Each structure stands twice: as structure tokens, then as C-alpha cells.
Structure 1
Amino acid sequence: MKQLYEDLWISTPEFPPGERDPEVMMHGFLLKLSRGNVLISRVEDHEDHNIISDLGGIFRHYLTHWHEAGPGARLLQQRFNSALYCHNRALGPVSSFAEADDTFNQAEVHCGSLHVVPTPGHTPGSTTYLYASPYGKTYLFVGDTISLSHQRWVTVLVPESNEADLKKTLEFYRALRPDVVLMGTTKGHLSWQEVTMREWLALLDEAENSPLDLRQRPGE
């Protein structure tokens, strides 16, 4: 894992097996809260699990959507006795890998400072996490709702995506003022980006106008 800020780490890049595009990579993020460490998104690398242990472990693991579920989720639960959280509409697929300890279906504030906001569109259970760090920056964890594909901001459409819901989510994003955008999956680029307000609004416009449509693969 690599430290990005005083209270935030990013995992080793993961290149999921079976992907046709070798440049697709996934990341997870360890965030230090006053109550302890939480993990957001997916961390499968066992060496990263050891580093998480060195950093004090985790007491909660949050998924932004079910595509982040994998064998590592259960291993983390067992090793750190941590609670796994996801949207209730992601529960079925997540359960194939690990048993969720709790779910949510509306905006909530967890641990006194972590904003949990359902943002459907990419998947029905997609969720965004917003955190104003005491060190001065506001982090926005968007999962795969928006992403970078070779320097181009995109939305990501999969068979279960809903374009109307995604449009509403992007409108909601425009009311936010993050300093750092953190993504679960990207292609050919790191999974985080510092932004100004002007850059944030511009990248949302670019993403909305640049859908990466994976609903039908070549040959299907």
C-alpha cells in the first residue's frame, strides 16, 4: 500500500484475471478515522493485508458496489474481525464471496464523519463515500460511477446499469465540492485525482458525454 495523505492509503494495483483489457486495474483505500481504520473498495493483495495489519487493522470494510466483492473480503473479515458493509441491493452478489454484517439503502453518516450516499446508475447498489479529512481535504470515493480511461473521464455502463439513475447521480455530484476523487477501477491511469471546483465540474461534463459502454462486448 502507498500513503497518499496523512490519513489515507491506496492499495497495490490489482489486474483482475479474465479481463480482456490488461490495463484495467482496481484499487482499494484505507482511511484512518477517529474511531479506527476503515477500508473502502477492494483489496485482494495479501501483502497489502499485512500492511493493513501494521497500520492497526480495520474495523469496517465498505464496498462501493458488488463488483468489488472477492475472496479478499472474507479473508479481511476473518483476520481483523471487521464488519462488511454494502448497499442492500448489492447483498445477493456480495454474499457469493462474504457475508455482509450490515446494509443500507439511504444516505447515512457512519462513525460520526463518513457520509454514506447511495448513488445508483452504474449498478443499482452503487454507493459513494464522502469524508472531510481533519487534515484539510475532502475525499470522494466514487467506485466505478465515474472513471479515467487513458486520460479521458467516462461513465461506465454495464448490463445492470440504469442511465436515468446515473444521470441523477451525476447531477448530485455537481453539488459536491471534493478535493480528491478516488476511483475503484481505472484504465491506464492512477485511481485518484486532486481537483479544483472548476476541474470537478468539467470532468463530470466530460464523463457524462463519454460513456464507456460495456453492455455488449465484441462477438456477443
Structure 2
Amino acid sequence: MRELYPDLWQTTSEHPMTAFPHSTSNAYLLLQETGNILFYCTGREAIGQSNEQADFDHIADLGGITQVLLGHWHEASPSLKEIKGRFGAEIVVHARDAAPVEKYSGVAPDIIFWDRHMLHAGVEAIPTPGHTVGSACYLYRSPHDRTYLFTGDTIWPARGSWTSATFEDDAKQSAHRSSLDALATLRPDVVLSAISPDNTCAEISPDEWVSATDIAKARLA
């Protein structure tokens, strides 16, 4: 793991997509006095790997995990059961992705949501259907003068640009474009996706972010 900012850590990079072996996946641990929050899921490559266990030990040293906020059901794996068992963490996901999360992880979500609203400790949940019907992003205004936007697989950096992909048949591209339009109105300083062909974390200016969402929309066509 590595520290990105005083309240944010990035887990060891993984490569869980066999069809895209060069794609990198990371989870992010937000440190909070009221309980740490893990965005996405770590340990998806293989339960029991040394890197995964080292990350879990490091997370324990940092105070453990109170909640796991999933961006969509593709992040679900048996490691969620291990995270819940070791740390007692609550699993949080949009209601429309709750069933497949339970199917692929063996753990039922503890908290589901439908609409945009504030979750635990100042984190805002923003439904962004498109990649999956229950995709969601999360916004957090850090006291360390940065606004973090966790985008899951709704939009991610890719080789100096940005991209996006609609996955499910009933997650229409029009819904995905609307989700990107909604994200374009935000003003993140740091965008943190769940997967990327290079770095899942990107610092960005407001103008660059609007351009990024426009580019991602164009690539949906």
C-alpha cells in the first residue's frame, strides 16, 4: 500500500481481468476518526495471496475498515467475505446491484441506497447507471483541501485520455451519458477509478474534468 494524501491510501495494484492482463485495479482506504472507509474491493486476484494479506495487515494497523463502498457489482468477489469477517465491515452498494454482489461474493450487502444522498462521514453517494444498472460514484471533500471523486468503472483514465463503457444491455448508453453529464457538474481535484490500463488515480483541474467526461461520452458511441 502507499499513502497518496494524509487521509487516503491506495492498495497494492492487482490485475484481476484475465482478458485484459495489463489493466490495473486498486482499492482506496479513506481514514476517518469515525471509522475508515474502503472504496472498491481489494484481494480480487486470489484469496490468500501474500500482497493481499500484507495489505490487510497494513489496513489493520491503520484502524481497520468500517464500511466498504462498492462502485458496482463487478467488484464483488469472495474477498468481501474475508474483509467482512476480519474487520466487521458493512458492505454498501446501490440497490440495483445488490443481488449480484451477494451472488459473486457470498455476502449480502448491509446497506443499499437508491438515490443521491449523504452516507457515512461526509461521503456522498451518486448513482451513475450505465456501466451497470447499479453503478455509483462517491464524492468526498477532504479537510486536506482536496475533493476526491471515486468513479468505479463509470469513467477511468486511459493512456493519457479518458474512457467509459456500457456493460449491460438494460444499462442504456443514454443513461450512461446522463450519468457522465451529472459527473461533469462536479469539481473534483482527484479522480480515483477502480480500474485503468495505467494509474487509477489522477489529479485534475475543473476544465480538464469537463473535457474528460466529454471524451468518455464520445467513446460510448
Gaps of 5+ in 1: 214-220
Higher helix share: 2
Quote the residue 1:59 is aligned against.
Answer: 66
| TM-score normalised according to structure 1 size | 0.91
Gaps of 5+ in 2: 44-51
SS state at 1:156 partner: coil
**Where do 4+ consecutive residues of structure 1 move more than 3 Å?**
none
Work out whether residues 107 and 117 of structure 1, in 8 Å CA contact, stay in contact via their aligned partners in 2.
yes
Work out whether residues 123 and 162 of structure 1, in 8 Å CA contact, stay in contact via their aligned partners in 2.
no
Query: 73-82 or 111-120, which moves further after superposition?
Result: 111-120
Quote the residue 1:138 is aligned against.
Answer: 147
Counterpart of 2:135 (choices 118, 121, 126) is 126
How far residue 42 of structure 1 moved from its aligned partner, in angstroms, is 1.4
User: For residues 132-166 of structure 1, what are the alpha-carbon distances to aligned partners after superposition, in whole Å with 9 as ceiling and x for unaligned?
Assistant: 00010000000000112322311122234420111
SS state at 1:141 partner: strand
One-letter amino acid of the structure 2 residue matched with residue 145 of structure 1: T
Quote the residue 2:174 is aligned against.
Answer: 164
Work out whether residues 147 and 156 of structure 1, in 8 Å CA contact, stay in contact via their aligned partners in 2.
no
Query: 198-207 or 55-64, which moves further after superposition?
Result: 198-207
Quote the residue 2:46 is aligned against.
Answer: none
SS state at 2:156 partner: strand
Structure 1 residue 184 and structure 2 residue 191: aligned? no
Query: 147-156 or 66-75, which moves further after superposition?
Result: 147-156
| TM-score normalised according to structure 2 size | 0.91
2 CA distance for matches of 1:34 and 1:210? 40
2 CA distance for matches of 1:176 and 1:197? 8
Quote the residue 1:40 is aligned against.
Answer: 39
Quote the residue 2:47 is aligned against.
Answer: none
1 CA distance for matches of 2:168 and 2:135? 14
1 CA distance for matches of 2:134 and 2:37? 20
Count of residues in Structure 1 that have an aligned counterpart in Structure 2: 210
One-letter amino acid of the structure 2 residue matched with residue 16 of structure 1: P
Structure 1 residue 148 and structure 2 residue 192: aligned? no
2 CA distance for matches of 1:111 and 1:40? 13
How far residue 33 of structure 1 moved from its aligned partner, in angstroms, is 2.2
How far residue 77 of structure 1 moved from its aligned partner, in angstroms, is 0.3
Query: 146-155 or 100-109, which moves further after superposition?
Result: 146-155
Counterpart mapping for 1:1-220 below 5 A? 1-16=1-16, 19-44=18-43, 45-96=52-103, 97=105, 98-160=107-169, 161-187=171-197, 189-211=198-220
Among all aligned residue pairs of Structure 1 and Structure 2, give the percentage whose two residues are the same amino acid. Answer: 34
